[in-house]
């Protein structure tokens, strides 16, 4: 007979609210210098991020470039992002 289902709510940190928050704040800084590339770093100063962050920055409206070349940590990348320049003409 299967074990009974254990019903419980997940802890608050499961939704990665911290990641969403810091990436949004990072993008706000990029908006101050449209067209300039910046190496994406976490609030802890780490310059390696999970590949899913590339999509996150794209969803927030940024241009992105990434590489895993030269990165020794598995499943991590270096990510650069910029807020697009506006063309007034």
- The model scores a pTM over 0.85: no
Answer whether CATH 1.10.3470 is correct for domain 17-82: no
Q: For residue 36, what pLDDT band results from cuts at 50, 70 and 90?
A: very high
Structure-model confidence comparison of residues 66 and 17, the more confident one: 66
Count other C-beta atoms under 10 Å from residue 82's C-beta: 18
Q: How far apart are CA 45 and CA 27, in angstroms?
A: 16
Helix, strand or coil for residue 66? strand
Q: How far apart are CA 8 and CA 63, in angstroms?
A: 39
Closest Cα partner for 64 from 81, 45, 47? Answer: 81
């Amino acid at each position: 007979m299967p074990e009974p289902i254990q019903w419980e709510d997940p802890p608050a940190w499961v939704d990665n609210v911290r990641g969403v928050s810091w990436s949004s704040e990072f993008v706000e800084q990029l908006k101050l210098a449209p067209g300039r590339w910046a190496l994406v770093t976490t609030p802890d100063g780490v310059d390696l991020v999970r590949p899913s962050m590339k999509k996150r920055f794209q969803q927030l409206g940024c241009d992105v470039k990434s590489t895993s070349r030269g990165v020794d940590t598995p499943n991590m990348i270096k990510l650069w992002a910029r807020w697009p320049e506006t063309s007034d003409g």
